[in-house]
Structure 1
Amino acid sequence: MDTGTHILMGVALGSIATLDPAVAHDPFLSHAVLLGTLSGSQAPDIDTVLKLRNNAKYIRNHRGITHSLPAVWLWPLFITGIIVFFYPNVNVFHLWLWTFISVAVHVFVDIFNAYGTQALRPFTKKWIALGVINTFDPVIFALHLIGIGLLFLGTHPGYTFLTIYAIIAIYYIIRFRQQVKIKHAVHAKIPNVECIITVPTFRFRKWHLAITAKDRFYVGFAKNGHIHILDQFKKCPLPDDPVIEAAKKDENVAAFLSFSPVYRWELREYNNHYEVRFTDLRYRSKGYYPFVAAVQLDRDLNIVSSYTGWIFSEGKLRKKLNLIPN
């Protein structure tokens, strides 16, 4: 989820914690738990600072080790240790418990969008992305705001957000049912489908689609249960080619390939250099595919320049690559 929703979830879990008798009867513990749930709801996303390093580091590591199984246990211990320094006499177990719940909920809800997490590390580095909830879901965000608004009206914080979360659980079920119907419709429309990636949008009834079939990739969207195909590309596996092999050694390209489950590739040859480009097919926007990795190599297959990330025009990508003259 987005940062704003995670913050609201920290408030919500801090409110639900008031149903815990140990928290309800200890104002200092209540304050400490709220700090714990707010911190725990944000801690796994600390890897966002990797953007300051470069996009390759960010793509490889965001929602990786910080969202792993060991991290779900270590974050609460670390946060609890810091809070106890300022609240030395509080019940440490209950503080740890609610901080743990907030971290676990953060990682859990991130699984449901199209970006996903590596939540099963260290057992596997596979990205788990269920693709049923948008990274920013306006319904979930609005329900949290309604809950906070009800608190100002004097409702019980615990029961208020317990009710809100029951509604959100029903909303998740509805989204899963929508996804199942969309996948059935795709199979009815396209033969030999091997994989369907759904990317929810801000609109409740519209979903982006990246479809892998036996011989082709299809890109389109589902709206009101109907499937619309916008683009299709011949499915070509990466060849055993020296230029491609050299490009795969680039940090930006390696990061892209470790993350993207469905992409097309292009190899362009110029007078004095090669250019290899990889395009993620999940994020089509206004006829353009903005998430790419590109690398330029000289005739001796030395990497001259490369880039990975979000680019919304060909001109900007040219600038990022410091285009070599033909």
Structure 2
Amino acid sequence: MGIALGGIATIDPVIQQNPIFFTAVMAGTIIGSHAPDFDTILKLRNNAVYLRHHRGITHSIPLMIFWGLFISGIIYLIVPDIPYINIWFWTALAVFLHVLVDIFNAYGTQAFRPFSRKWVGLGFINTFDPVIFSAHIIGFAFWLLGASPVKTFLIIYFLLVLYYLKRFWQKKVLERKIRRSFYNVEGIFTSPTISQKIWRVAITTKDKFYVARANDGNIQIVDQFERTPVPDTEIMRVAKTDQNVDAFLSFSKVYRWEQTEYDAYTEVRFIDLRYRSKDHYPFVAVVKITKDLQILKSYTGWIFSEAKLQDKLLIEDL
């Protein structure tokens, strides 16, 4: 999207007529379109820090303003003859577009900080959407063949707006069908797949959690669980103090819990129900607690097999 936006920027005659200005703007839109995800570096620290902060403050209103000013300012220092307002406008637009697009997938962002810390994830565009990706590849091909990047990408983006509206409408139709099919629905969490016809769905009712798969509008329940509140026990209070569990609970919108007793420790597990894949729930938080309420080991993140999860939780002295 950063490259496409750089192409659209040639609508400005100042940018179109000067290769140095065009290169500067292209650098701004490419860097700006990635800047909010610079927090990915937090994964080098640990999953808990990454989970708590990814798509958080870096996608907030103050940081959106900062990224545009900072990146365009650096470019202006390197190429001082460029018109600053032009480079700032297109860079800031690239940053804004990144955050806007992130709102439409299931993961979401905290885009309205500092006014609200609520995660906004509308859940009707896949994190990797082949239609959007292919549209850009087609646009680049036409550009390389000599077509105007302005006309090409304005047409593509107009069509993508229609595509977004179509996906939004599909989600609303699915939600209406779910509300007609289930009693006491309190929450519906949709997660589109790469296929246009298939959606993952987690449904919260007064008494149960349902995990479903919608295929061309046909809703199939693949799992259901009793909706049991997290008990106010010593074990659970200790579990919630763990940084991995705390990060998971701050992010997850719909989850269930399990508590398993072993000879040397108790395992508490929190399982997000939105991301079921191949009979497995990959997004979890797990903590092992001794009988005297000491935390032995914990983990949170996406992991796709029980064996790998237990490797992460391996306690050598046991």
**Alignment partners' CA distance in 2, 1:25 and 1:302:** 67
The runs of 5 or more residues in structure 2 that have no matched partner are: none
Aligned to 1:37: 29
**Number of equivalenced pairs:** 318
Residue number in structure 1 paired with 2:99: 107
Is 1:163 the counterpart of 2:155 in the alignment? yes
One of 2, 27, 34 as aligned partner of 1:10: 2
CA contact (8 A) 2:296 2:315 kept: no
Q: Of residues 39, 52, 55 in structure 2, which corresponds to 1:47?
A: 39
Which residue of the partner structure matches residue 130 of structure 2?
A: 138
Which of 9, 20, 28 does residue 28 from structure 1 map onto? 20
Cα offset for 1:24? 2.3
The amino acid that maps onto 2:164 is Y
- Of residues 25-34 and 85-94 in structure 1, the stretch that sits farther from structure 2 once superposed is 25-34
CA distance in 2, matches of 1:254, 1:59: 10
Match of 1:60 in 2: 52
Matched, 1:250 2:233: no
Does 177-186 or 134-143 show the bigger shift? 177-186
Name the structure 2 match of 1:260: 252
Question: CA–CA distance in 1 between the matches of 2:18 and 2:309?
Answer: 56
Q: Give a deviation string over 1:84-135, Cα, whole Å, max 9, x none.
A: 1221100000100000000000000000000000001111111000001000
Give me the whole-angstrom Cα distance separating, in 2, the residues matched to 1:35 and 1:324.
49
Could you say what secondary structure the match of 1:266 adopts?
Answer: strand
In 1: Cα distance, 2:176 partner to 2:315 partner: 44
Q: Given the alignment of the two structures, is residue 233 of structure 1 paired with residue 225 of structure 2, yes or no?
A: yes
Give the superposition deviation at 1:323: 4.6
The one-character-per-residue Cα deviations of 1:48-94 (angstroms, maximum 9, x if unpaired) are 11111111111001001110000110001110111112211000001
2:190 maps to a residue whose letter is T
> Residue type of the partner of 1:39?
I
**Structure 2 residue 189 is matched with structure 1 residue 197:** yes
Residue identity matched to 1:206: I
Moved over 3 A (4+): 323-326
Normalised by the size of structure 1, how large is the TM-score?
0.95
Judging changes above 3 Å, is the alpha-carbon distance between structure 1 residues 222 and 204 closer, same or farther for their aligned structure 2 residues? same
Q: How far apart are 1:325 and its partner, in Å? A: 8.7
Whole-Å separation in 2 of the counterparts to 1:170 and 1:323: 52
Cα distance in 1 for partners of 2:165, 2:9 equals 25
Equivalent runs, 1:71-110 vs 2, <5 Å: 71-110=63-102
Give the Å deviation of 1:22.
Answer: 2.8
Provide the rounded CA distance (Å) in 1 between the counterparts of 2:165 and 2:260: 46
Which one-letter code corresponds to 1:137 in the other structure? D
Match of 2:273 in 1: 281
1:151-189 deviation line (CA, Å, top 9, x unaligned): 011111111101110010000000011001100111121
Mapped pair 1:19 → 2:6: no
Identity %: 54
Matched to 1:193, the amino acid is V
Match of 2:304 in 1: 312
d(CA) in 1 for partners of 2:312 and 2:12? 53
Check whether the contact 1:185–1:226 (CA below 8 A) recurs between aligned residues. no
219-228 or 134-143: bigger deviation: 219-228
Structure 1: unaligned runs, 5 residues or longer: 1-8
